[in-house]
Amino acid sequence: MESDDELIAIVSMECRLPQADGVEEFWRKLVAGESAISDLTDAEVAAAGVPADQRSRPDYVKRAGVLDGLAEFDSTYFGYSPREADILDVQQRLMLESSVSLLERANIDPHRTRQRIGVFAGSGMSTYLFGALRRRDLVESLGEMVIRHGNDKDFLATRTSYKLNLRGPSVNVQTACSTGLVAVHSAVQSLLLDECDAAIAGAVHVRLPQQAGYRHQVGGVLSPDGVCRPFDSGANGTVFTNGIGLVLLKRLRDAVADGDEVHAVIAASAVNNDGAEKVSFTAPSVSGQVDVLSDALQISGAKQTDIAYIEAHGTGTALGDPIEIEAIKQAYGLDGDPCGIGSLKGNFGHLNIAAGIIGLIKAALVLKHKYVPPTVNVDEVNPALELDGSRYFVTTEGLPLDRDTDNWVGVSAFGMGGTNGHVILKSFEPDPAKAADGPATVPGAAEGPSVLTFSARSEAALRNQAAALADHLAAHPDTSLAAAAYTLREGRTLHPYRASLAAVDRAEAITRLRAGRYHRGAEADPAGIAFVFAGQGTQRRAMGAALTATNEHFARRLDEAVDAVNEHTDFDVRAHLGPDGEVDGIDTSVAQPLLFAVEYALATSLIDAGVRPGHVLGHSLGEIVAATVAGVFDLPTAAALVATRARLMGRCPSGAMLAVDRLDAFADLLAGGDLVVAATNSPAQHVLSGTHEAVEAAAARAADAGVRHQRLATSHAFHSPLMRDAAEAFREFLGTVTLHAPRIPLVSNITGRLLTEYEARSPHYWADHLLRPVDFAGSMETLREAGVRRFVEIGPGRSMSNLVRANLASESGPGLDLAQTLGEPEHEEESFADAVALGWAVDPEVPIEEYASAPRMVPLPTYAFERHVHWVEPVLGFGTEDVSAPATPAPATPAPSAPAPAPASAPVAAPSATPADDDLDGPTEEIRKVVAKVFETFLGGPAADHDREFFELGGNSLMAIQLINKLRETFELDFSVRDFYENSSVAATTNVIKSLLLQEPARV
């Protein structure tokens, strides 16, 4: 190509091949010189349907390249019902899953990107179709059109574009064995014409049954022993195998600007056809190959001698190999530097439709690693190639490339029927001056907390995502956590099940991921977050100091609160916030304003960050802060209120408090009035309050009765009659201020219920707050009944988190989610970031850019598909026998089919209960059962939620027509298409049918 503006970058690659599930395994196998073709047992060949008289013939070859897990597919991810997934061609399944992985390797979220992404791909003829069409039950339930659509290669590219939301050109390419490389050429042309900004290009080929083997014919193209020997003197045929290969292409200038990893650069591509000047339709042509190689070379601007290696078509046939070598010599010349020639078909066999794209991926890896793997199965180079004395040689051993210069390689693919493709690649070394904003990792740079986010289509897949991310971080110690967070935020699709965590280093992130200690959220779970405000006694030295130094929002809010409180105190709250500030043993009149200022700043800065509570509650003083955040008091009023409250409480007679784990031992002491229950924190934690003498007696009683107990470091008996004078004076003060109804649901300490508007605006309520016991356990029960399972502790330490956990001990598994805003003193910034992470898990609109930004993205694991068996037993050849069910088990460990999913583009709705039998009258229930059974027939699984629409459950319009006809036939009535589309759930359809049977209008 004439200029850099016409160069095309390969920015990601993906493949699935026999014994190589991914690009990394593919390269390892090439470098090791290993073969992926395996021997088949007679039992495997018999199970594939090969009759005994055929498989026992001496010319029947029992060898094949077998793809593992072919029966498994993540139908949920792509919004397929189990039944439709069962009949979808395995090639189309591989294309869908591999395309997702390809885009994620390039860190592209197709649902958010503005790039127009094209698809240029081809597949083999679907042999999976033969088995599906023999299943009468499938044909009758789904209809022949649905089955054909799921297997017709015409829909390979467009199905991928539809399911992945890709908006560039979507074109099928079919040129037999050169398909994959011609697809690349087509994508290159589309990019050069500015029809798209990125393009998926490649091909897939799967012939079923995989373990069938084949019969060798003398003079044919198939190897008599199942071994492909490219360029060997004993080359006598090839072996067709299965696999998929895809690349993602961009204009080089765009790839560099986007900070993409460039594996190699396409300098030129060319395509032609042999025409009629050859022996037969299937025979190769020297002149056609010479022309296509020469065209590509001329376009590339390279000299003949620049090409250091050619990944040849190299089928290992006596006719094809000499013709290809002759074409290379004519196109690239005989004189000049040595040039290696190799072929991967010795390792993986002939991948048919996908042969050219796999050759291109190998060539790109050669340039990336600057190493040519050995061509295997070459004992003696075929003398008919006439390589002696030329500059060409077969790479029978590994060949290092020059690391100090640009390297050029060529790739060829020739299709039966004469369509030839040739691509010239060159190596790429990024210019640091042109890299997008510099490197992603700055060695030795200290990182603040990073928020890692990931999501999936199911809870199980979410766990797999966490495990894969942990393994990757452990295996790549140079990965910047900030860059990983940025990649996860910008380069991954957001799915209904979400997870997040904050960490300051890789080790912590790995530990939390592997232990499952990350925050969870889901579209089907609308329950929000409760802010829990700590009470007096939780204060600590320099609380908030570390966060103030790094979080300007918190620092601003803290200044705002301190200034407001200082208006009503005779001391400066700031004097107690620094590292030298005194907090131990300070008077109540100091402790409460101090704690109020910090907690108010924490809550409001967290709300500023986008984390909005659905409920608020607090413990004693904490309820005053909660009420302020909820809008009962404005900040000036709250500051005056807290300062007054603290001063009045500090003037009360001194007393003591004792925490105990049960109350039965203190009944007589409590009856006297000098000892009261000040708080019920949980079923196993109570606080007694009273005079010093009463608490001493209670402590002695506890010791005698074996009751666990602990004296609290307080100077007063809070929430006891000793606070009566303060309560009366406080009531008078409250009569001078304006109180409001809470804007956020506020749970009362006193009642354990949601605070009413009357209570919120009543001076008596807030005055009695000093006297009445704290019913924290009751407050938690109210939140439990409301479905709240996520809590953010507002205040220093973890005391409130421990109380929440104690009250919800039976739900302390994945359902209970806790975060602190000021955890350990040395981790304040991380704790606050983790609270933001919890907010994101609940609401992904919470901005996390502050904790997930980097100069560029980095490679991370691709989506961990949750695959289930979806399989129709294949048949050998063009069988005509009718069957109703598979005759033999699927070639994998059976797993239950995935539940009926929501479409990929729709959110997962919260399931509603299926109507109980006693909720419906007899006739309606009978109709509903029949309708549900029909739905199950088409969806391949139970319609567990009778209120969800047919299309939400994975149905499509073609299936709907078949279902409507089945309903008409079953109930012998005219059930219209419109009736179904407007009422497509089991419940709504039942009502329509019942009305039609009764000949009265439907009420739906």
Active site residue 177: yes
Number of residues that this document lists for the chain? 1004
Backbone angles phi, psi at 434, to 5 degrees: -105, -5
Catalytic residue, from 185, 350, 576, 769: name it. Answer: 350
Q: How far apart are CA 482 and CA 961, in angstroms?
A: 51
Q: Which helix (H) or strand (E) holds 264?
A: strand 264-273
Q: Which helix (H) or strand (E) holds 117?
A: strand 117-123
Catalytic residue, from 161, 186, 480, 620: name it. Answer: 620
Catalytic residue, from 313, 519, 870, 946: name it. Answer: 313
Q: How far apart are CA 214 and CA 226, in angstroms?
A: 9
Active site residue 709: no
Q: How far apart are CA 282 and CA 178, in angstroms?
A: 13
Q: How far apart are CA 760 and CA 747, in angstroms?
A: 11
Catalytic residue, from 15, 177, 228, 652: name it. Answer: 177
Q: How far apart are CA 95 and CA 103, in angstroms?
A: 12
Active site residue 472: no
CB-CB contact of 314 with 324 (8 Å): yes
For the record, the structure tokens of 492 come out as 């991954």
For the record, the structure tokens of 804 come out as 């929440």
Beta-sheet strand order (sheet of 497-503): 450-456, 497-503, 519-522
**Helix/strand/coil for 443:** coil
Q: How far apart are CA 664 and CA 625, in angstroms?
A: 33
Task: Report in angstroms the alpha-carbon separations of 638 from 407, 577, 593, 623, 731.
Answer: 72, 20, 10, 11, 14
CB-CB contact of 350 with 315 (8 Å): yes
For the record, the structure tokens of 542 come out as 């320099």
Active site residue 870: no
Q: How far apart are CA 531 and CA 540, in angstroms?
A: 20
CB-CB contact of 267 with 406 (8 Å): no
Give the orientation angle of helix 552-566 with respect to helix 588-608, to 10 degrees: 140
CB-CB contact of 893 with 871 (8 Å): no
Q: How far apart are CA 198 and CA 193, in angstroms?
A: 12
CA distance from start to end of the chain: 64
Return the amino acid letter for 119. Answer: V
For the record, the structure tokens of 536 come out as 């007096």
**Helix/strand/coil for 304:** helix
Q: How far apart are CA 782 and CA 268, in angstroms?
A: 69
Q: How far apart are CA 98 and CA 161, in angstroms?
A: 13
CB-CB contact of 804 with 542 (8 Å): no
Q: Which residues contact 956 (CB under 8 A, 6 or more apart)?
A: 84, 146
Residue ranges of the alpha helices (H) in 106-213?
A: 128-134, 136-142, 144-149, 156-164, 179-192
For the record, the structure tokens of 337 come out as 């530097």
**Which residues are catalytically annotated?**
177, 313, 350, 620
